Amino acid sequence: MHSTSPAGPDHDAAPGPRGTWRFPATFWFANFAELFERAAFYGMFISLQLYLVGEVGFTDVSAGAVSACFSFLLYLMPAFLGPLADKIGFRAALILAFALLTGGYALLGALQIKTTVVVALALVVLGGAIVKPVISGTAAKCSDEFNRARAFSIFYFMVNIGSFSGKTFAPFIRQGFDLPGFGHFELGIRYVNFYAAAMAFIALIIVVIAYRNPDTAGVGRSFSEVFDSFVRVLCNGRFMCLIVIVAGFWTIQGQLYAAMPAYIIRLVGEQARPEWLANINPFVVVTCVVFVTHLVRNVKPENSIAISLAIIPFSALSMALAPILQRATGNSIDILGFAMHPITVMAIFGIAAQGLGECFLSPKFMEYASKQAPKGEEGLYLGFQNLHSSIAWFVAFVLSGFLLDRYCPDPNKLKEIDPAAYAQWQDAIAGNGAMPEAYASAHYLWYVYAGIGVVSLLALLLFKYVTAKLDRRAAAAAGAEGR
């Protein structure tokens, strides 16, 4: 990505000395802005389904559709909005992006009107899609071949710190909190959006005050060139097959935000904190990815991906088996002095499995994907490798909406159609008796995702077999022509 800002390059934006961790000031300010942006996004995103259903009035199915479109566009649009930053300059692009995010989050919390919420989410999509390429582009331009890996490791660290902190604070805002000397503050889930707006506004202030355009010599791609590239990628059957196969992994991981929060709260109670459970995933990735990457350094990329696809079904299966543990232990298990619900315990194991699988997948996927691209076009194809996330998150939210509605319905819906069952649900949440029949098969939704994981693994094995056979046939034909 390049910028042609008339403001000119920042004299302080040259890469730091070789082999050091020193980077120009612009690099650090960009990363701190990214930290606040990620805290805003993940704080809102982990609560989005709960907010759409509980406050705005969407059903599980319609909320799933709205979140699906939001997620799909959020991962797809950065490739198309990158040229905007090239045209107006990185600094102006970030100011625009964070202004859109601040306004979008604030509007999302201010008005619980369905149409307004959709508009607010559209603003968040536009802002987020601009931020993604600009911050990563800043990291690239403020480093060189000798310290670029370190630059992106800092960027990745900031992303995870932001993600972790956003999801850590979200339950205190949603449930209320005690402040010594001031008493109890009862806020509510809508205020999570105002928290996100505040985080985005802080990022905006950082950019306005401290961010300067990095060295932006060069010419970026036009919108038409990006679109033409996108069409070429879509027409590559081999690459798209790989994208769809790997999307199975991310569809299951997407349940951290799509199904898991509602599932936990509806079966454990409002006191549960699914936001903290979701933090297990980045914790496992950050602590294990270096070790796992070293472990599989000599393993073929496709075999490492196969390991991740073999692990991910156990993530969903762990959640599905929670009722067995619950029948054996009751509604509380003492673990190191902490009383946990059996569903929470199995969620911990399942989410940890997701993180471990990601460690095997992420470092190797780009390497394997680049091999599927035509020679000389590896960079072009990797620019659209986030297609798997767009597809996965769309499927994850749409499917979760239907599955929650069928197997783990919104208690407010139950209250309308069967008051007696709703009363029984209230008693069960309070620890007095069993769940009503409407929730007897709630765990079935996780069997669906376990099945998706198994199908993805089998599809990858078939993909490997077919592509290897085609490659051998092509090599033999090329050899025959050479003779």
**What's the predicted TM-score (pTM) here?**
0.87
Distances (CA, A) of 145 to 127, 153, 216: 29, 14, 17
Flag whether pLDDT at 469 surpasses 50. Answer: yes
pLDDT for 7 beyond 70: no
Most confident residue range from 229-238, 301-310, 359-368: 301-310
pLDDT of 375 above 90: no
98: how many CB neighbours lie within 10 A of its CB? 27
Better pLDDT: 384 or 135? 135
Q: Packing angle between helix 342-372 and helix 260-268, nearest 10 degrees? A: 170
- State how far the alpha carbon of 372 is from the alpha carbons of 156, 223, 343, 433, 450, in Å: 26, 25, 41, 55, 27
Assess whether pLDDT exceeds 80 at residue 178: no
pLDDT-derived band of residue 4, with 50, 70 and 90 as boundaries? very low
Q: Do residues 174 and 44 make contact, with C-beta atoms less than 8 angstroms apart?
A: no
Q: Which amino acid is at 282?
A: P
What angle (nearest 5°) sits at the alpha carbon of residue 48, between those of residues 44 and 50?
Answer: 125
Query: Which helix H or strand E contains 286, and what residues bound it?
Result: helix 280-295
* Rounded-to-integer distance, Cα 384 and Cα 133, Å: 12
Q: Is the pLDDT of residue 1 over 80?
A: no
| Span 21-32, average pLDDT | 85
What pLDDT shows up at residue 461?
94
Write out pLDDT tens, residues 203-251.
999 999 998 887 554 455 666 777 777 888 788 888 889 889 999 999 9
* C-alpha distances in Å from residue 153, one per residue of 132, 133, 209, 210, 286: 16, 16, 25, 22, 11
pLDDT at 105 over 90: yes
Q: What secondary structure does DSSP assign to 333-383, as a single string? A: EEETTEEE-HHHHHHHHHHHHHHHHHHHHHHHHHHHHHHHSPTT-HHHHHT
pLDDT tens digits, 39-78: 999 999 999 999 999 999 999 999 999 999 999 999 888 8
Average pLDDT over residues 301-312: 92
| Average pLDDT, integer, range 9-27 | 59
Spatial contact of 7 and 213, defined as CB atoms under 8 Å apart: yes
- Min mean pLDDT across 10-19, 41-50, 69-78, 409-418 is at 10-19
- For the record, the structure tokens of 183 come out as 């008493």
Distance in angstroms (rounded) separating the CA atoms of residues 186 and 177: 7
Encode pLDDT of 328-345 as tens digits.
Answer: 888 888 888 788 899 999
pLDDT of residue 378: 58
Encoded tokens for 428: 């069960």
Which pair of structure tokens corresponds to residue 75?
A: 């991962």
Q: What is the pLDDT of residues 138-159, one digit of tens each?
A: 887 777 766 766 777 788 788 8
